[in-house]
């Protein structure tokens, strides 16, 4: 079945450092890809998404590009802030169109930013 693999955490960086969180996927169809963020004590928030190959999703300084050839969707940010400390989940949606909306999540990467 479809699956998502993302880099193990925790990841600890200093403020203003460059961030990359790797994510690769396995899918039989043409999934949409997402990054969700979970702050302590809260539910998931959609950070960004891409629905087809070569799409770039971006939000709050974060970016990720849908790479079909490498089946990857790595998350990047040029300069992280303490407020970015959270758990980040890479995810895909099974099926395209209206056939399904089940989301498969990666295991999550905990990010801690030092002041």
What residues make contact with other proteins under the rule CB under 8 A? 32, 34, 36, 41-46, 49, 51, 89, 93, 95-108
CB of 4 closer than 8 Å to CB of 109 = no
Note if the bond before 41 is cis, omega within 30 degrees.
no
Least separation in angstroms between residue 113's CB and other proteins is 22
Please tell me the distance from the alpha carbon of residue 94 to that of residue 20, in angstroms, as a whole number: 25
CB 105, min distance to other proteins, A: 4
Shortest CB 83 distance to other proteins, Å: 18
């Amino acid at each position: 079945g479809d699956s998502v693999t993302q880099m193990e955490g925790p990841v600890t960086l200093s403020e203003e450092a460059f961030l990359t969180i790797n994510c690769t996927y396995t899918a039989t169809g043409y999934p949409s890809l997402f990054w969700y963020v979970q702050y302590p004590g809260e539910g998931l928030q959609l950070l960004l998404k891409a629905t087809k190959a070569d799409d770039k999703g971006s939000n709050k300084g974060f970016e990720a590009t849908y790479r079909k050839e490498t089946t990857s969707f790595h998350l990047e940010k040029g300069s992280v802030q303490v407020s970015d400390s959270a758990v980040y989940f890479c995810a895909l949606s099974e099926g395209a169109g209206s056939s399904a909306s089940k989301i498969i999540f990666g295991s999550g990467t905990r990010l801690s930013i030092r002041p």
